[in-house]
Amino acid sequence: MIDKESKDPKKEAEEVKEILNVVSTEIPAMIKSILASVFSEEAGKNMGRAAAAYYKELQNGGLPEGVAVKMTEDYMRTFTSLGDMIKGMGVGKRSGSGRDIGEAISEAIDKKKREREEEEDE
């Protein structure tokens, strides 16, 4: 835990910078890993099996074929919507996106440190 009274503000800023740099690289890597597991060949096979089982249960329950098809399509959309939502977060659109975020954070922290130093000098 950080003791704010005894901590040097410059040291605190450096610690925050380090933490944010790690977070900015780890989170995009985690999301990419999740996407890879959701869109793997095995995941596709499992989704296909799940959709087939769902459709079969609807038909066995006495639903008309058109209704069962529509409900199965909607069921599959929930899987693809999740993937689209994750993709829409911007992960993987540019290479090294975590690095770009880390650089932006570092620049912002450095700027704030310079501003504080200038205020202290005045």
Give me the residue spans of the domains in the chain.
32-90, 92-122
The C-alpha atoms of residue 33 and residue 85 are separated, in whole angstroms, by 15
Other Cβ atoms closer than 10 A to 102:
19
Per-position pLDDT tens, the chain of length 122: 455 556 788 888 888 888 888 888 888 888 778 777 777 888 888 889 999 999 999 999 999 999 999 999 999 888 777 767 766 665 444 444 444 556 666 677 777 778 777 877 77
The C-alpha atoms of residue 107 and residue 16 are separated, in whole angstroms, by 13
